[in-house]
Chains A and B, each alone.
Chain A
Amino acid sequence: MTLLPLAPDVLLGVALLFTAWRALYTQALFPAVVFFVAFGMLLALAWMRLQAPDVALAEAAIGAGLTGALLMAAVARLRGRDEDRP
């Protein structure tokens, strides 16, 4: 029973490692960006669990939100370039 409070944290850690792995090793770029954004949101949750709400807020807004948007824009541009090739 003493392990029960630990379970959500372990689940969070495993999910973090899984999303990080998928973000790095997914071949298609768009799903990789989606995994990156999911990783950022989970990391924000992890910061909350570590009682660092300031870092969590910054991670959610900048790490997951804006970096995700920047990466999406980059993917859209790369796609446009690939279509240029014969």
Chain B
Amino acid sequence: MKAFASAALALLLAGLAAVLAWTVTRPVTPGRDVPALIAGALDVSGVSHPVTAVLLNFRGYDTLLELVVLLIALAGVRCLAPLPPPRGSAPVGGVLRELASLLLPVLVLVAVYLLWAGATRPGGAFQGGALLAAAGILALLAGRDRFLWRLEHRLWPLACLGVAVFLAVAAGTLAAGGVLLGLPSAHAGTLILVIEGFALLSIAVTLVALFLGTGELEDRDP
């Protein structure tokens, strides 16, 4: 049985290698010049950074689904049976506490800046959200976990907010006679900022909840 499985696996891998080899040897058909297309349409996208224009406007559907994937990941983790919290956590030292109080405002500011900068240069909601989540985790590690109490009661509304706003914008563009997520160029900049702002919040909340793992929000003493 084991030999049979090995042979089947070998056959499968050989087939995959053959397909890959065949794909590589095929002549590349000259496709459309995508960078030029994006550069040409940048004026109607509402932002001046091509990466943000693709992520939030031209291929906004993909970004919406990325947010949904993050939400599903959170749902999956929260469905698992709660683990015992890590034991033997040492009392928080003064250095960490002081460093956190210095760094937290800076981290929040830089996260918001990354969101704002996404319109014109590298940045955006995912990077800003990750940084905001890092601020939340730093606050947790430094013992400043009173915000958890608020998070515990509003975890799902906050985590779903990004997707909800994105879907609302999508429905709005559809109802306004356009295509799904075809942002009108006059308001595209504002709409992208609104979508990214709520996405930033949801991403940060989701990542902090993922860090906490299963059930710890409920288990934690108030």
Residues of A within 8 A of B (CB): 53-54, 56-58, 61-62, 65-66, 69-70, 73, 76-77, 79-81, 83
Interface centre among A53, A69, A77, A83 (most CB of B within 10 A): A69
Do B211 and A70 touch (CB < 8 A)? Answer: yes
Question: Nearest Cβ distance between residue A44 and chain B, in whole angstroms?
Answer: 11
Question: Nearest Cβ distance between residue B117 and chain A, in whole angstroms?
Answer: 10
Q: What are 8 inter-chain pairs, A to B, with CB distance below 8 A?
A: A54-B122, A58-B126, A62-B126, A62-B130, A66-B211, A79-B86, A80-B84, A83-B87
Do B211 and A73 touch (CB < 8 A)? Answer: yes
CB closest chain-B residue, reference A53: B122
Note all chain A residues with C-beta closer than 8 A to B134. 61, 65-66, 69
The one of B88, B114, B122, B133 in contact with A66, judged by C-beta atoms closer than 8 angstroms, is B133
Question: Nearest Cβ distance between residue B220 and chain A, in whole angstroms?
Answer: 14
Question: Nearest Cβ distance between residue A6 and chain B, in whole angstroms?
Answer: 26
Do A58 and B127 touch (CB < 8 A)? Answer: yes
CB closest chain-A residue, reference B49: A54
CB closest chain-A residue, reference B86: A76
Note all chain A residues with C-beta closer than 8 A to B126. 58, 61-62
- For the complex, what is the distance from the CA of A19 to the CA of B85, rounded to whole Å? 30
Question: Nearest Cβ distance between residue B104 and chain A, in whole angstroms?
Answer: 15
Query: What is the 8 Å Cβ interface bit string for chain B, positions 125-166, against chain A (1 contact, 0 not)?
Result: 011001101100100000000000000000000000000000
Note all chain B residues with C-beta closer than 8 A to A70. 210-211
- The A-contacting residues of B in range 86-124, CB under 8 angstroms, are 86-88, 114, 122-124
